[in-house]
Structure 1
Amino acid sequence: MDQLAVLICFTVFTFTTADDAVNTKAFPKDFKFGVATASYQIEGGWNEDGKGENIWDHLVHNGPFIIKHNDTGDIACDSYHKYKEDVRMLKDLGVNHYRFSISWSRLLPTGFANKVNPAGVQYYKSLIKELKANGIEPFVTLYHWDMPQPIQELGGFLNDNFVDWFGDYAELCFKHFGDEVSNWLTFNEPISTCQQGYGNAVKAPLIHSPGIGEYICGKNMMLAHARAWHIYNDKFRSKQKGSVGFVVDSLWYEPSSNKTEDVHAAEMKRQFVWGLYINPLINGDHSTMVKEQIARRSKQQGFKRSRLPEFTEKEQKYLKGTLDVIGLNHYSTVLVSAQEKPDPSAMGFFVDCEANEWKSDDWEKSGSDWLRVVPWGIRKLLKWIKDNFNNHKIIITENGYSDREPKLLKDDRRIHYIKSYLSNIRDAMEKDGVNVIGYTLWSLMDNFEWTSGYTEKLGIHHVDFNSSNRTRTKKSSAEFYKKVIATRCLAEKCTA
């Protein structure tokens, strides 16, 4: 459903002030509550026990030094040594699942499957065993931004052989851990990976190739996901009976007015996320809107073909239907309007859409410029996903609140954020019929937040990064979330 006629019918649907009230309906008994982390952000042990170098190791040690205070993930939360303490925190919360990522370089130091690191295999087996012993379901991400440096030096996502290399790595993980892991996610956040890593060069590996490299990255990521899905489907699913999903990072793009051009611009922004990174996995190809838009602009710029690489007919068949569950990372919302005079020479994901985006001054600010508190945005996004992708199964894989206080333990604004977003998720399930199966809060604890280093806090446990012990301290938000999980309810008194 990517046609203009459909999006105009969609228009701008708003909620009444009554929807600002907290939903008092209990979450279903089979709804899963969890928390999330990622390997480079928490593990540390960056060169211990045979682990190889990844692109973030390389960046923080060799520059350019773009991380706040020149922070590194060399030790981070020291979860490589303190995973049992992490599991105790998870057990205390009462979570159903824990989303973590495997460090490709810890398993395969060179990135290639010919050399497996036994210590890396054992670390993740020990973590998974500890989780299972405490009744916690592992939710495993295979790639959370930490490409092995040797593979990056061969082009990373820009090398078509990446599809095979990732498939080999995924198969290794299914083989070693799949008997205990039922939930797999291949890639985390294609926008952050491709657009920011291979487009505007603000995240590792800092490749500046807007409108070309970032789209090649996306194509190979889609095919690599499909390769992993087919490997699992053909070799492991019948025995392990799990699922393979993909995590997309998406704002809600709200039209700034009811004007047709602004409604169209907002839909174009959505399609530049979902039409690029989910439509291929469900329907076999990029959405028509995105293909036509980039082809038109490419032609204007003198290219002989579209800058968006096409999938062959064979690739389309290979891609179609390779998504068991949609993982959604959502934090905030932006307003969108059509550009009056688009720059005809500009290239890239953020300009090819020919739309302006900004945040309303009326929206509550968090500790980070990128995050405003707009709870109704997640309900609108979930309904849009339902309407566009035949009510596909969704799990919220990240959602959370940022502050920059050195040690804020009474984090009432984070509690407000979690409560209001969960309420809108419950509304989407109850009132809009969206198939949401779970919610995963980012994050279990404060950690290395990429270019912000340790200045940005999104955890429900404080970590003292000045202490060699990396002492963890529970915040008020952890107690709140613990109660929500125990009661499956956001109000003091829930209704059935």
Structure 2
Amino acid sequence: MAPLLAAAMNHAAHPVLRSHLGPNNESFSRHHLSSSPQSSKRRFNLSFTPRSARVGNQNGVQLLSPSEIPRRDWFPSDFIFGAATSAYQIEGAWNEDGKGESNWDHFCHNFPERIMDGSNADIGANSYHMYKTDVRLLKEMGMDAYRFSISWPRILPKGTVEGGINQDGIDYYKRLINLLLENGIEPYVTIFHWDVPQALEEKYGGFLDKTQKRIVNDYKNFAKVCFDNFGDKVKNWLTFNEPQTFTSFSYGTGVFAPGRCSPGLDCAIPTGNSLVEPYIAGHNILLAHAEAVDLYNKYYKGENGRIGLAFDVMGRVPYGTSFLDEQAKERSMDINLGWFLEPVVRGDYPFSMRSLARERLPFFSDKQQEKLVGSYNMLGINYYTSIFSKHIDISPKYSPVLNTDDAYASQETYGPDGKPIGPPMGNPWIYLYPEGLKDILMIMKNKYGNPPIYITENGIGDVDTKEKPLPMEAALNDYKRLDYIQRHISTLKESIDLGANVHGYFAWSLLDNFEWYAGYTERYGIVYVDRKNNYTRYMKESAKWLKEFNTAKKPSKKIITPA
């Protein structure tokens, strides 16, 4: 799911966590960092078509002309289009059929004030009971694939194999996977999307396990259970989703479960260390990833199996034309992308992180490096927007508070001329800048060997709060989202023409769902979920367009209507 940065900013009361104010008194927290390879000369060279060249206006949104709208036949026949979700956000049934408590169940129930609307995902989008409807919608839209995650505590209620395997949980995912395949929809499975069994949090701190053994072994065993039970039908796996977001928000700012941060900061459990704990958790994630991939490649991969992990990458543009801002952009990218990508490509963290975080950043053994390097044959990129990076001097006047402060760069919503990087998209932190996606894909091509890539998340959220309710009609007529998706698909085609090794695109999200600490105050779905009326689903205009878009591809499998 998209990291809701503006919401995180509101949780961070400590003055050091806040960056510069923009023209509308908006600010942007420094804790989410990434980069873009383009120089500041291209800062306002946006990829969307100039207003004078656009035709059509829907609800104030200037749409692309018919000749500019992307077509399915622009892409190879084996290029996949799909939609994505995660277990905690949509399933509900939080304590049904033997499921154990997750860190997010515990966090929402014990710290409701940390969720913007005080809500939880006890029901979510009710997909545990309505998965057949969800598959029908995917089929109706002509989707090639569905990316979803498996709930660790639904499979292992106590977090460990020794604590027992929940057969009801296994059976649920088998039913979902079988129904997808029967309808010609390929499952892309994320093994971990932020829901740690609470039992492991209480036993040894979850991913803060200082032994580097217990959490790694328990995760590996969980992955093995998934491979054993679903590996005969699932050929595409992602070990972790957005580890940079998970670690920085869970143990840095503390806006994610379990809600830890340093004393003096504003979070649920201010007894942590925001400069150290994210690195401990991140290190354990990388070790767990390497072990799971090693296991998969040895015993489960077969001829067609693929495995990797998904990164959240916010495009980065230098704030000004100076060399210092260019370097700030590069350091920001190192923390946002390189933190977890460099170890699986080269076996260690980026040099800038080693030099700035120093002893706070753990080291890998030779044996661990051997397993890490090349531990993927596909990668996921979650892209939403881009932002400006501005240099901060290394001096006694600047004292890092969060792990992401180690970039020594402020992240600016507005450029030096007072303008944002692109048109605002509704929710507070996403601005339309498709060029950033191309920039990132060129980094992957030119710096990291051009690995097989899937765009595993891309979308926007519509604000829906008590203070600013979103009428259902307005939510269904989501022309801003439609325009956003079309422009990013067009930019994706440009990137492929430039040599980017991209094989698929997943819209985030299939459904309106529980958006972590934003609760239900933002709707990211291409399908509307009416939570007041039996969680009935309605396709938005963006979903209807994707349906038309996908019809250009001839069906390769017999389509079977779900029961």
Q: Partner of 2:54 in structure 1?
A: none
Aligned residues: 470
Give the counterpart letter for 1:79 in structure 2.
S
- How far apart are the structure 2 equivalents of 1:368 and 1:265? 26
- How far apart are the structure 1 equivalents of 2:309 and 2:118? 31
Give the counterpart letter for 2:296 in structure 1.
Y
- How far apart are the structure 2 equivalents of 1:8 and 1:117? 44
| Alpha-carbon shift at residue 10 of structure 1 (Å) | 6.6
Which of 512, 516, 523 aligns to 1:457? It is 523
- How far apart are the structure 2 equivalents of 1:446 and 1:10? 34
Deviation digits for residues 146-200 of structure 1, max 9, x if unmatched? 0000111121111121111100000000000000000000111112210000111
Which of 160, 185, 191 aligns to 2:238? It is 185
Question: Is 1:421 paired with 2:488?
Answer: yes
Q: Partner of 2:426 in structure 1?
A: 367
Which of 306, 309, 328 aligns to 1:246? It is 309
Listed as ranges, the gaps of 5+ residues in structure 2 are: 1-34, 50-67, 262-272, 464-469, 554-563
**Is the 1:359–1:372 Cα contact (8 Å) retained in structure 2?**
no
| Alpha-carbon shift at residue 474 of structure 1 (Å) | 1.1
| Alpha-carbon shift at residue 417 of structure 1 (Å) | 0.3
- How far apart are the structure 1 equivalents of 2:78 and 2:129? 33
- How far apart are the structure 1 equivalents of 2:159 and 2:446? 39
Which of 213, 224, 237 aligns to 2:288? It is 224
- How far apart are the structure 2 equivalents of 1:27 and 1:450? 34
Matches within 5 A, 1:163-202: 163-202=216-255
**Is the 1:284–1:317 Cα contact (8 Å) retained in structure 2?**
yes
**Is the 1:59–1:65 Cα contact (8 Å) retained in structure 2?**
no
- 2:450 counterpart SS class: coil
Give the counterpart letter for 1:353 in structure 2.
A
- 1:68 counterpart SS class: coil
Question: Is 1:267 paired with 2:330?
Answer: yes
Matches within 5 A, 1:28-427: 28-63=76-111, 65-114=113-162, 115-153=164-202, 154-159=204-209, 160=212, 161-208=214-261, 209-238=273-302, 241-295=304-358, 306-340=359-393, 343-360=397-414, 361-362=419-420, 363-404=422-463, 405-407=470-472, 408-427=475-494
Listed as ranges, the gaps of 5+ residues in structure 1 are: 1-6, 296-305, 489-496
- How far apart are the structure 2 equivalents of 1:129 and 1:327? 24
Q: Partner of 1:20 in structure 2?
A: 48
Q: Measured at CA, do residues 391 and 227 of structure 1 come closer, stay the same or move farther in structure 2, by a change above 3 Å?
A: same
Q: Which stretch shows the higher mean deviation, 43-52 or 251-260?
A: 251-260
| Alpha-carbon shift at residue 62 of structure 1 (Å) | 1.5
Give the counterpart letter for 1:14 in structure 2.
R
Q: Measured at CA, do residues 255 and 89 of structure 1 come closer, stay the same or move farther in structure 2, by a change above 3 Å?
A: same
- 1:441 counterpart SS class: strand
- How far apart are the structure 2 equivalents of 1:313 and 1:292? 20
- How far apart are the structure 1 equivalents of 2:46 and 2:515? 36
Deviation digits for residues 393-432 of structure 1, max 9, x if unmatched? 11000000111224211111001100111111111111x2
**Is the 1:8–1:263 Cα contact (8 Å) retained in structure 2?**
no
- 1:100 counterpart SS class: strand
Q: Measured at CA, do residues 8 and 48 of structure 1 come closer, stay the same or move farther in structure 2, by a change above 3 Å?
A: closer
- 2:362 counterpart SS class: coil
- 2:522 counterpart SS class: coil
- 1:46 counterpart SS class: coil
**Is the 1:329–1:397 Cα contact (8 Å) retained in structure 2?**
yes
- How far apart are the structure 1 equivalents of 2:368 and 2:180? 38
- How far apart are the structure 2 equivalents of 1:12 and 1:427? 21
Q: Partner of 1:486 in structure 2?
A: 551
| Alpha-carbon shift at residue 15 of structure 1 (Å) | 8.8
**Is the 1:8–1:260 Cα contact (8 Å) retained in structure 2?**
no
| Alpha-carbon shift at residue 241 of structure 1 (Å) | 3.2
Superposed CA RMSD = 2.0
**Is the 2:37–2:316 Cα contact (8 Å) retained in structure 1?**
no
TM-score (norm 2): 0.80
Deviation digits for residues 120-154 of structure 1, max 9, x if unmatched? 00000000000000000000001111000011112
Give the counterpart letter for 1:365 in structure 2.
P
Q: Measured at CA, do residues 335 and 17 of structure 1 come closer, stay the same or move farther in structure 2, by a change above 3 Å?
A: closer
- How far apart are the structure 2 equivalents of 1:203 and 1:346? 20
- How far apart are the structure 1 equivalents of 2:289 and 2:314? 22
Give the counterpart letter for 1:378 in structure 2.
L
| Alpha-carbon shift at residue 486 of structure 1 (Å) | 2.3
**Is the 1:8–1:264 Cα contact (8 Å) retained in structure 2?**
no
- How far apart are the structure 2 equivalents of 1:225 and 1:166? 9
- 1:142 counterpart SS class: strand
**Is the 2:240–2:310 Cα contact (8 Å) retained in structure 1?**
yes
- How far apart are the structure 1 equivalents of 2:206 and 2:119? 24
- 1:372 counterpart SS class: coil
Identity of aligned residues (%): 39
TM-score (norm 1): 0.91
Give the counterpart letter for 2:131 in structure 1.
Y
Q: Partner of 1:302 in structure 2?
A: none
